[in-house]
Structure 1
Amino acid sequence: MAYVPRERIRPLTVVLSVVSLGLVFAAAGGQIPQSTVPAAPEWILDLIPHVNVAISATAIGTIALGWRAIRRGRIDRHRVAMLASFGLFAAFLVLYLYRLVATGGPQEFPGPAAVEQFVYLPILAVHIFLAVVCIPLLYYVLLLAGAYPLEELSQTNHARVGRVAASLWLISFALGIVVYVLLHVTY
Structure 2
Amino acid sequence: MEYVPRERVTALTAVLSVVSLAVVFAAAGGRIPSSTVPAAPQWVLDGIPHLNVAISAAAIVTITIGWRAIRRGDVDRHRTAMIASFGLFAAFLTFYLYRLIATGGPQPFPGPDAVQQFVYYPVLAVHIFLAIVCIPLVYYALLLAFSRPIAELRRTSHARIGRYAAALWLISFSLGIVVYVLLHVVY
Q: TM-score range by the shorter chain?
A: over 0.9
Q: After the TM superposition, which segments of 4 or more aligned residues of structure 1 sit over 3 Å from their partners?
A: none
How much does 1:3 deviate? Answer: 1.4
Aligned equivalents of 1:47, 1:2: Cα separation in 2: 39
How much does 1:2 deviate? Answer: 1.5
1:164-183 alignment to 2 at 5 Å?
164-183=164-183
Matched, 1:52 2:56: no
2:15 maps to what in 1?
15
Aligned equivalents of 2:35, 2:106: Cα separation in 1: 17
How much does 1:120 deviate? Answer: 0.0
User: What is the CA deviation profile of residues 20-76 of structure 1, one whole-angstrom value per residue up to 9, with x for unaligned ones?
Assistant: 000000000010001000110000000000000000000000000000000000000
Aligned equivalents of 1:118, 1:154: Cα separation in 2: 43
* Gaps in structure 2 of 5+ consecutive residues: none
Aligned equivalents of 2:63, 2:150: Cα separation in 1: 20
With normalisation by structure 2, the TM-score equals 0.99
Task: Tell me how many residue pairs correspond in the alignment.
Answer: 187
* Gaps in structure 1 of 5+ consecutive residues: none
* SS of alignment partner, residue 4 of structure 2: coil
2:159 maps to what in 1?
159
1:81 maps to what in 2?
81
Aligned equivalents of 1:140, 1:127: Cα separation in 2: 20
* SS of alignment partner, residue 73 of structure 1: coil
Aligned equivalents of 1:5, 1:45: Cα separation in 2: 39
Aligned equivalents of 2:134, 2:121: Cα separation in 1: 20
With normalisation by structure 1, the TM-score equals 0.99
How much does 1:150 deviate? Answer: 0.7
* SS of alignment partner, residue 164 of structure 2: helix
* SS of alignment partner, residue 3 of structure 2: coil
